Chains A and B, each alone.
Chain A
Amino acid sequence: MKENIKSVVVLTAICLVVAVLLAYTNSVTAPIIEANKAAAASGSLLEVMPEAAGFENITETLANLPATVKEVHKETSGLGHVMILGTTTQFSSDEMGITVAIGADGKISNVLLTGYYESKDFGADYPSTYIGQDSALGGVDTVAGTTFSSTAFKDAITDAFNVLIENNLVAAGQKSEEQLIAEVMPLALPSSADSLGNCQVTAVEGVAAPITQAFKANNGTGYIYVITGTNGTVVAGVNAFGVVKVLDLEGNDVTAAEADAAAAAQSAAPVLATENLENNTAAAQATVAEGAVLTPVEGLNVTGTAIAAFVADVAGETQYVVITAPLGYSNETMKMITVFDAEGNVIFYKTLTELILHGEYYATHELTDESAYRQMFIGVNAGTYSDDMTLVAGATMTANAVASSFNSAFEALDLIKEVVA
């Protein structure tokens, strides 16, 4: 018994002494360990802001952060902010890592690319072109050949600025008129914009006042004009059916207020649906039953990629034909034709240009050729159609174009019925 008590006492005493020793060591080393951890965490931050005294992570205090903004660190002496960004391009699912330092003056003082997984590089110098830029990002552009990666990079930096501006941490930079016009153009003629929201247009020479610039959509869905309006510069979009929409540089619809600008745009723009009527009619005629009578529909206020529309009288039965021209892989125009019955169900669908699909798709869906892919859409209508139906792994751009085509066709169908009624 005595020996047992002694055992307990000795073991307890040793435990207590060891506990005291550990407590003392911990009290000495804990602050140093914490400082080491903080230094390691701020290592990447110091790389972009070496003169920083310290950092405070304010990520949690900021509301509505976009997915691209991972962390926001405030420099403790007021030099600015360092933000850790992560974004994905539409090609790779791996995140592109960016660490950007934005000074208290609202300008980028340094930027570092910490992760890049695309096969095509946009150049080691590209990130450094952002140094000195304010939120307007007036002096930078995307890189041809790596449009997706450089656009993703630019968008992530824009997100970073927006977070700081919305939280009143820096003042917004002043955008140039040229930048504002470039931002409004896709709103004026959405059908000309690619999947990244950039207008795919070609400048038209020989414009006359009040028009200062003119562009034709590469996919033939209309024209865009920059016009000196009554209240300043406006951007007018004229669709393939000759319908005009005028926007001011803030993106507001001012078609009624800027009637002169609208008229100038309308008179300058050829009505593409009429101009290409012969070709479009021939294409449409080939898709409906022999002997069908086609009547072109005019003045459709479409925002999608529809470039021609017809009402077909097939032995007394009404059908509707819509030709669309979405942008596909490498922004190539993909003309597509859809025929609807009187109830709005798809009864025929084909691409007038080659449909580029991936072999993997056929394996997954037990399809043997593209006709089987097209066949899937027969019978669908606006209520049963879903963009998921068009998905093709490995051929995203083409599948997106098909989806855009169907959405535009359904939009046009509704407008045709209104016009016909």
Chain B
Amino acid sequence: MKKLGILLKGIIKENPVLVLLLGTCPALATTTGVISALAMGIAATAVLFCSNIVISALRKAIPDKVRIPCYIVVIAGFVSVVQMLMQAYFPDLYDMLGVYLALIVVNCIILGRAEMFARKNGIIDSALDGIGMGIGFTLALVAMGSIREVIGAGTWAGIELTALKPYAISIVTAAPGGFLVFGCLIALVNKLTSGKASKKEFACEGCPNAASCNKAECETDAKEETK
């Protein structure tokens, strides 16, 4: 039951995009269409799953001092693998995602989950966390992509919606529309969870750099903010 909880928490309760507000850059950039949003979600999920497993497996071997460089090397390695596979087998998707595929390396969700979860938990739990967070990330992107493509272009996954096409509001597929949809979805998730999303993730534990900063001071500030 605990393992199911780990898997499911990333979907709504600790959704990385809509609750933890991580990975905003790719969320805005690749959600002009459903296909690119789904592709980015799957690519990030694959990297998240693999990097969580490896980092969890090596958590006792990696010295604390060099753990961030180690995480980055592992994550960059997996991103490069995904990039090469996608370029070879899904060249159209590769072209569609462009530079954002390579930027998964610096995606806060992946580094954040490595720091927050994988380095403290076992391989199975880390794998489940990777999948859960990946699914949450993918669902958020697909939801954003769907809304933006349907309203902004009158299509869904490239399928023309004849009734909506003449009323397409093209600004929704542009950057301002991305922020608008993003804000609305965050509000919706807040409403659904009645604002009870995991608060601790916003404080020190939610910060990938918590260990290297003045933690006590940081926690004090966070507590004051919560009050």
Contact = CB atoms under 8 A, between A and B. Distances in A.
- Co-complex (A, B): yes
Interface of A: 3-4, 6-7, 10-11, 14-15, 18, 21-22, 25-26, 28-29, 32-33, 36, 40
Nearest to B80: A22
Interface string B46-64: 0000000000001001110
A3 B64 CA distance: 10
B81 interface: yes
Given A14-B70, A21-B77, A29 B87 contact: yes
Given A18-B76, A22-B81, 13 more contacts: A7-B63, A10-B70, A11-B69, A11-B70, A14-B70, A14-B74, A18-B74, A18-B77, A25-B85, A29-B87, A33-B91, A36-B87, A36-B91
B218 interface: no
Q: Please provide the 5 A-B residue pairs with the shortest distance between their CB atoms, ordered closest to farther.
A: A18-B77, A29-B88, A32-B88, A7-B66, A29-B84
A7 B58 CA distance: 13
Interface residues of B, number: 20
A214 B81 CA distance: 76
Interface of B: 58, 61-63, 65-66, 69-70, 73-74, 76-77, 80-81, 84-85, 87-89, 91
B65 A14 contact: no
A93 B65 CA distance: 62
Contact of A11 (B66, B80, B84, B85): B66
Contacts of B69: 11
B224 to A, nearest CB: 35
15 contacts: A4-B65, A6-B63, A7-B63, A7-B65, A11-B66, A11-B69, A11-B70, A14-B58, A14-B70, A18-B73, A21-B81, A22-B81, A25-B81, A29-B88, A32-B89
Nearest to B89: A32
B87 A14 contact: no
Contacts, number: 52
A180 B20 CA distance: 79
Contacts of B66: 7, 10-11
A182 B20 CA distance: 78
Contact of A14 (B73, B85, B89): B73
Contacts of A25: 80-81, 84-85
A33 B88 contact: yes
Nearest to B71: A14
Contacts of A32: 88-89
Nearest to B69: A11
Contacts of A7: 63, 65-66
Contacts of B62: 10, 14
A33 B84 CA distance: 8
A11 B73 CA distance: 9
A368 B174 CA distance: 49
A21 B79 CA distance: 12
A4 to B, nearest CB: 8
B93 to A, nearest CB: 12
A14 B71 CA distance: 9
A34 to B, nearest CB: 10
Contacts of B85: 25, 29
A42 to B, nearest CB: 14
Given A3-B63, A21-B77, A26 B70 contact: no
A334 to B, nearest CB: 51
Nearest to A26: B84
Contacts of A40: 91
B74 A10 contact: no
Most chain B beta-carbon contacts within 10 A, residue among A4, A11, A28, A40: A11
Contacts of B88: 28-29, 32-33, 36
A356 to B, nearest CB: 44
Contacts of B77: 18, 21-22
Contacts of B89: 32
Contacts of A26: 84
Nearest to B65: A7
Contacts of B80: 22, 25
Nearest to A19: B77
Contacts of A6: 63
